Amino acid sequence: MLTVHPRLLEPDDPVERTPVDRTQADRTQAERIAAAALPGTATDTTAPASPPEPVVVAAPLPARQGLGARLLAALPGMLSAALSLGLFVAFWYFATKYKLDFYIRFNNIPSPGEVWQNAVILSDSVRFYENMAISMRRILFGFGIATVLGIALGLLIGQYRPVRALLFPVFEVLRPIPAIAWVPMAIMLWPSNETSIVFITFLGSFFPILLNTIHGVNSVDPVLVRAARCLGASESALLRQVILPASLPHIFTGLAIGMGVAWVSLIAAEMISGQYGIGYFTWEAYSLIEYADIAIGMIVIGVLGLACSGAIRLVGNALMPWLASQRGAEK
């Protein structure tokens, strides 16, 4: 029969423990202390309670704003624009009324009232509307051709090094030449003045679109390109479905800049070699000393340019709705 010595049952007798036993004992003691410190918890740590499951609350969907809400949100911007234009017209009125002459002379500048009276008279002139339509047609043709060629060549130059090495040096040499300097050459190159003016308008908008498209292609994340190629995308699919969408913000920046330069080039070409158009109308008014008509021509040019730029922004927002949502979130 096996007997146990009484001293082996005494708790005060020190027992030699291994480091693993001491670690487990310390961990158990720490768990008991932590459990005792928490109110309403049991000291038994053999079956610890599982943490409560997090409650997931679905975020409410943003409500679609109605027309009234959108107008109310745009009201501060509209008031700021009205205030800015009102201050400009007020300065113009007082400067012409008191004939201010402080290096800038307002002696021969027509007043807002005179401009308004001539504008009412021109509103019944068919020729005035024809000049506006001719300028718009030239802008649409020149800018449209520049958009197609600028985006296409920009994608190719930005994506493929051989194309860049072949074409980019030529464009870099031609780019600094002002569009006005092309007027004599354009008259000799093209068979009619109409084609020459469209060509000048094309040159003014082509290079901003081209350079911004190239910059957009170079800014595309290489991970997207590698992922598309790993998924078996062809080169045409890569350009259409990856490179082009990722470059759209830069492309539309180039379109907006190109539209402004196109109007500058068009008006200059119409003043120099044109027989119709709003630029020719403005220069003819200067030749006939119709100062109020000069101001009307300038105002019409500004309004038409603003409308064209606004149309580009609308198309950009339609093609890139994520940018509009990001701007709305930042505001």
Give the H/E segment covering residue 105.
strand 104-105
How far is residue 80's CA from residue 24's CA, in Å, rounded to a whole number? 73
Q: Whose CA is closest to 266, among 176, 171, 187, 194?
A: 194
Task: Quickly count helices (H) and strands (E) in the chain.
Answer: 13, 2
Beta bridge mates, 22: none
**What are the tokens at 83?**
């205030």
Q: What angle do CA 194, 199, 204 make, to 5 degrees?
A: 130
pLDDT for res 67: 67
How far is residue 171's CA from residue 84's CA, in Å, rounded to a whole number? 40
Could you give the 3-state DSSP secondary structure of residue 295? Answer: helix
CB 129 within 8 A of CB 241: no
How far is residue 88's CA from residue 77's CA, in Å, rounded to a whole number? 17
Per-residue pLDDT of the chain (331 residues), as tens digits, is 444 444 444 444 444 444 445 555 555 554 555 444 444 444 444 445 555 555 544 445 444 556 677 777 777 888 888 999 999 999 999 999 988 888 888 888 999 999 999 999 999 989 999 999 999 999 999 999 999 999 999 999 999 999 999 999 999 999 999 988 998 899 899 998 899 999 999 999 999 999 999 999 999 988 988 898 898 888 888 888 899 999 999 999 999 999 999 999 999 999 987 788 999 999 999 999 899 999 999 999 999 999 999 999 999 989 888 776 666 555 5
pLDDT for res 328: 56
Q: How far is CA 156 from the centre of its chain?
A: 22
CB 264 within 8 A of CB 248: no
- CA distances in angstroms from 309 to 12, 232, 263, 303, listed in the order given: 92, 39, 11, 10
Length of the chain: 331
**What are the tokens at 59?**
């975020």
Q: Whose CA is closest to 202, among 286, 141, 289, 273?
A: 141
pLDDT for res 2: 45
Domains, the chain: 114-323 (1.10.3720.10)
Q: Which residue, chain included where needed, has tokens 């730029």?
A: 309
**What are the tokens at 207?**
């290079």
Residues 6 or more apart whose CB falls under 8 angstroms from that of 268 comprise: 179, 180, 183, 200, 279
pTM given for the model: 0.74
Residues 6 or more apart whose CB falls under 8 angstroms from that of 224 comprise: 242, 246
